[in-house]
Amino acid sequence: MLLHVSARLVDWNRGLTFSRDGSVTSDDHPPPGAWTIGDPDSLFRLEDLAAVSGCKLDVSPPRQFLQAALAVGSLKSIPFKWMMPPAVYGEYLRRLRDESWDLLDAGVMEYYSSCFVSTRRLLRGLQPTAIDRRIFDGHVRDGLSTGQLAILQSFRPDDSGFAAAVRYNQCGSRTGRLTGRSGPQILRLRKDLRDVIASRFDGGTIYQLDFVSLEARIAAAVGDMEPERDIYTHLAKEIFSDRYTRSAVKLACLSVIYGAGRKRIANQLGIGLVDAEKIAGAISDAFNVREVSRGLLEEAVATGAITNRFGRKIIATDKSSHVLYNNYIQSTGVDVAMHGFGKLVDIVGSSGIAPLFVLHDAIILDVDPKREADILALGNSPIAIAGFSVPFYVDAEKF
């Protein structure tokens, strides 16, 4: 196993590659299969492995040298090697090497290899989106707020009519929900401004494939339920004998998953506290929330973290039962969605279909009119996700 420290952390000329036997070589690029530090484009980044495993890896130089570098320039303009005396830099490299080997020996690579890397490959396969310049210019002239204008400007097309490709940060949140790193800020773009997104195909359409009731379905599966495709209608019938509407049951389910108090449920549904307690309690029992939460709390107390269904570690900064439960469901949902998106992209192929964005529980596709029927057909097919006995489903609709 090899460990490559990027040239960005050395002298911007060549990086350093460490081997287990103690040898060190100077390389322009990471050798094949090497784990890297300081390389934002690598598939196998130690910083990411640390982030998803709850382990420590401090890539920063000592604070006093960082402060000195900031006083004379920016961190991007000074390689780490020249921020500190040679002896201190040598100690910095030794610490980084030792912490890296400890991390690689900690037995936490299964999730990274099986989930994280496959998600990164999916995200790297996203393509630039075409932009309708006329609509874009019209929105720019509409007098948007400074914040929304800045978001819209991230979609500004180049001379070929395309925006930059989106880049996501997989470690920008504790639960793994994607955050924007660069390119179009699709996660923050207002719905009424989405019409700037155009098709690259003649007569093409932008579609979204959205997982149906994803978090509620995961909560049901974790609680050993096997709900029908429409989980809210299923619960309304099976648990409440249709005494509550589908929309009321949906609101109550999400309130249970997100830890809303009974008073809030009562206010949102326009019912009394007693009825709110009954409906929330029935859903909690159906999802087996108490037992699942108890196990998560025991894990959090023992280890300082919880583990989602796929093995991702989530640091338990708040050990409240409802927070742990929500973090578990939300983080598991991220991995279910990414697994599912990968399957969907493989199913439809690349001919006449260009994946553009991931938007929470949905993937956005640019679709040639000849392939529309194939996209719409996906809404009728269950999606199997490893580790779950229940199938998942997507809705296909225009974006």
- Residue 279 is encoded by which pair of tokens? 């409906």
Going from N- to C-terminal start, the domains of the chain cover 2-107, 123-212+333-398, 214-329
Annotate 189-203 with DSSP letters as a single string. --GGGGGGEE-SSTT
At the second CATH level, the architecture of 123-212+333-398 is 2-Layer Sandwich (3.30)
Q: Rounding to the nearest 10 degrees, give the CA dihedral for residues 207, 347, 349, 208.
A: 10
**CA-wise closest residue to 293 among 273, 251, 323:** 323
- Residue 212 is encoded by which pair of tokens? 């149906």
Q: Which residue has the tokens 């549904």?
A: 269
The pLDDT tens digits along the chain (399 residues) read 899 999 888 888 889 999 988 899 998 889 988 999 988 888 899 999 888 887 778 888 888 887 777 776 666 667 788 888 889 989 999 999 999 998 888 767 788 888 898 999 999 999 999 999 999 999 999 989 999 999 999 999 999 999 999 999 998 888 999 998 899 999 999 999 999 999 999 999 999 999 999 999 999 999 999 889 999 999 999 999 998 889 889 989 999 999 887 888 888 888 888 888 888 899 999 999 999 999 999 999 999 999 999 999 999 999 999 999 999 999 999 999 999 999 999 999 989 999 999 998 999 999 999 999 999 999 888 999 998 999 999 999 999
| CA-to-CA separations, 364 to 138, 380, 392, 393, in angstroms, rounded | 23, 18, 18, 16
Q: Rounding to the nearest 10 degrees, give the CA dihedral for residues 18, 103, 178, 323.
A: -170
Q: Which residues pair with 131 in a beta bridge?
A: 197
Residues 393/230, Cβ–Cβ less than 8 Å: no
Q: Which residues pair with 238 in a beta bridge?
A: none
Residues 257/219, Cβ–Cβ less than 8 Å: yes
| Alpha helix segments (H runs only) across 105-245 | 109-111, 117-124, 133-140, 146-153, 214-222, 231-238
The burial class, CB within 10 Å (0-12 / 13-18 / 19+), for 270 is exposed
What number of other Cβ atoms are within 10 A of residue 47's Cβ?
Answer: 16
- Sign of dihedral through CA atoms 272, 276, 279, 281? negative
Residue 305 in 3-state DSSP?
strand
Backbone angles phi, psi at 290, to 5 degrees: -60, -45
- Residue 337 is encoded by which pair of tokens? 């969605």
CATH superfamily entry for domain 214-329: 5' to 3' exonuclease, C-terminal subdomain (1.10.150.20)
Quote the pTM value: 0.87
Residue 20 in 3-state DSSP?
coil
What's the chain's Rg over C-alpha atoms? 24
**CA-wise closest residue to 335 among 392, 398, 269:** 392
